Chains A and B, each alone.
Chain A
């Protein structure tokens, strides 16, 4: 980590913030124009998980299913013998029809699980997710304002919005399905990224007395470096289990695992560059009288 210790992070704040801005705008664009692959938790619909003696060709299954569903069904591999079929039709009858035609074609098929969500519940979940995210952000804003100061609260909440948006953008780009556990992942990313930011901010507050000697850039840079091995080590120790979840955690958790993976990487980056860069820029433009 010797190289990193001679690296002056804050010299790169402008390019880094530009990159963040570009990624942020690109994510918003993706979400707005490409949309999200929302799972049935949000849209309503049916998901059936079936298992075969030996898995047939997905294309063939798609053909069989398409005889009874109007809109195209999402069909995916599931473990080594099964497949998952998702349709947007939200009645029990529709699911029974799908199972019926498949059973006729593949007599050895077994249904090992299914989910049906009606349209009302989907709408509710979307609202709940929005309320939850907003409530969490406001609560965090209040906590940091009380513990630190309002400026710190603002510069730590903006990276959170940045991280959550980039994670959404990533899911829009890869067209991975967004299920209700995605909300859990986003909120955890928010908490995690904040964790990183707070530790750097905490150090900045502690070093504040050297402001006149070092200047704001030097001060922030020093604080980043002092906390750097902690930031890297914690990111690594959190990444290990999350990587294990991505690889071995099974298909049901994959939304959660990949969202966490993206969130941790983006969150660590934004704590080091975005939150700190904003403090520096803000200070350079409008120095605040010291508390």
Chain B
């Protein structure tokens, strides 16, 4: 064995041992993407409005509020980050109820107390057939009901007209859609930013609600408005919808109030979290939302592993049958490639996604290409009358350029995918790139070392014999 060969053997052993020591045990060490471990991936698009311009400051405040909300909701290892100038990406691993998570994140949660200036009557309940004697009678009543319902809706439009004349006034609808009412509301008297705390509790009728306490400033404003509106309605408005509009019984001092509405326990809990974390400083819209349940992710992993193992076994067998011992060396090189891919994923803290798994499986097939190239070359060299070791040497030397050329072009495609690909497709670019580099190493170094060891032994035995 030449000195150069010994160095090569040393490098291969070192790399394999280090990779093994570094990545063992593999289970739980590779970052799994949300499509594999389950969770919600939400992209919020901020909307520029004259009242709430976005700006960098706005995004930073938005991130802070979202972090606050997600923390209080209790999600392990959430990722909340800005993306581009006007987007926010929120990754919530392992969320069981993505719809609830979305409610928590996407709602602005702007709380306001406003004076009720006017309120429309809700439409009467629709007629029921059983209360009428004949079909004609029922049809007549139904028609009359339709006009009345339309009229109730018109109230909203009429209020809009009136609101234009009043400084700061808005039109809001009731939360209860069956008894839809429209409210003409005065300017904001007290707002959510004047809140100090919010928590879920039950009122004396055992209805669930959210109790809030105001800051000093808020408390003073609240006392003033309740004092002014005794005997009149004060609307509690959340994101422009009137949750309730109780009649003020007396001036309320001390800065505490109770919001009741038709809440479920979960809704009340979310509302309390949102009020405490503060309203979103800018308007947002859900641009993208992908949620994968844990069972679906587990299925994907299982199927990916199954396909990968079967594909790998087929490749192993093919190489053994076609190239015999050389095929065995290629199979060992393939095992090293796999090891290096996982070590690479761990080392770069890359995220493994489902397309990423596909990339690894594809690498299994493409990695042996280098071996095939080398072996076909060696065959040719042997045919031209070289000794096994010389043929080996020439085969590797001549195939190396070709291997590099062909892998670099695929690498170009993989890197482009990494830069331009979105989300999980990026994971494919990552595993493919790592796989290409790892397979070139295995082809050129590992295979050669294995073959050299074997052929060297054989020649040694021949000499002695």
Residues of A whose CB lies within 8 Å of any CB of B are: 49, 51, 79, 92, 96, 110-118, 120-121, 125, 128-129, 131-132, 135-136, 139-140, 143-144, 147, 180-181, 183-184, 187-188, 190-192, 194-195, 198-199, 202, 226-227, 229-230, 233-234, 236-245, 247-250, 252-253, 256-257, 260
Contact = CB atoms under 8 A, between A and B. Distances in A.
Contacts of A249: 303-304, 307, 358, 361
B197 to A, nearest CB: 30
A253 B354 contact: yes
A142 to B, nearest CB: 9
Interface string B407-423: 11111111011011111
A182 B422 CA distance: 12
Contacts of A237: 315, 318-319, 365-366, 368-369, 372
A199 B377 CA distance: 12
A132 B420 contact: yes
A54 B412 CA distance: 46
A233 B365 contact: no
B291 A240 contact: no
B165 interface: no
Contact of A241 (B35, B43, B314, B372): B314
Given A239-B365, A248-B307, A250-B300, A184 B355 contact: yes
A256 B376 contact: no
Nearest to A240: B314
A183 B362 contact: no
B413 A244 contact: no
A241 B365 contact: yes
Given A112-B295, A198-B406, A252-B35, 19 more contacts: A79-B299, A110-B293, A113-B293, A116-B288, A117-B289, A184-B355, A184-B421, A188-B432, A199-B402, A237-B368, A240-B314, A240-B315, A242-B311, A242-B362, A242-B365, A244-B307, A248-B310, A253-B357, A260-B362
Interface in B215-254: none
A241 B380 CA distance: 28
Interface string B281-324: 00001111111110110011001101110111011001100100
Contact of B416 (A125, A187, A260): A187
Contacts of B286: 92, 116, 118
Contacts of A187: 413-414, 416-417
A257 B102 CA distance: 32
For B98, B106, B362, B380, which residue has the most chain A Cβ atoms within 10 angstroms? B362
Contact of B308 (A92, A140, A190, A244): A244
Given A118-B288, A143-B412, A96 B99 contact: yes
Nearest to B309: A244
B322 to A, nearest CB: 7
B369 A234 contact: yes
Interface of B: 35, 43, 45, 98-99, 102, 106, 285-293, 295-296, 299-300, 303-304, 306-308, 310-312, 314-315, 318-319, 322, 354-355, 357-359, 361-362, 364-366, 368-369, 372-373, 376, 380, 401-402, 405-414, 416-417, 419-425, 428-429, 432
A243 B311 contact: yes
A199 B420 contact: no
Contacts of B311: 240-245
Nearest to B367: A237
B289 A92 contact: yes
Contacts of A120: 45, 287
9 contacts: A51-B295, A118-B288, A129-B420, A180-B424, A187-B416, A187-B417, A191-B410, A240-B365, A250-B304
Contact of A128 (B319, B402, B420): B420
B419 to A, nearest CB: 8
> Top 5 closest A-B pairs, CB basis?
A241-B311, A132-B420, A250-B303, A191-B410, A238-B365
A243 B312 CA distance: 11
Contacts of A238: 362, 365-366, 369
Contact of B299 (A180, A188, A250, A257): A250
B34 to A, nearest CB: 10
A110 B293 CA distance: 10
Contact of B364 (A49, A113, A198, A241): A241
Given A92-B289, A136-B413, A195-B369, A248 B303 contact: yes
Contacts of B359: 184
A211 B102 CA distance: 68
B429 to A, nearest CB: 7
B178 to A, nearest CB: 16
A181 B318 contact: no
A39 B436 CA distance: 29
A139 B416 contact: yes
Contacts of B366: 192, 195, 234, 237-238
Contact of B307 (A230, A236, A247): A247
Contacts of B315: 237, 240-241
A14 B5 CA distance: 49
B415 to A, nearest CB: 8
A194 B410 contact: yes
Contacts of B419: 132
Contacts of A115: 289-291
A202 B401 CA distance: 9
Nearest to A147: B405
Contacts of A233: 318, 322, 372, 376
Contact of B421 (A121, A183, A247): A183
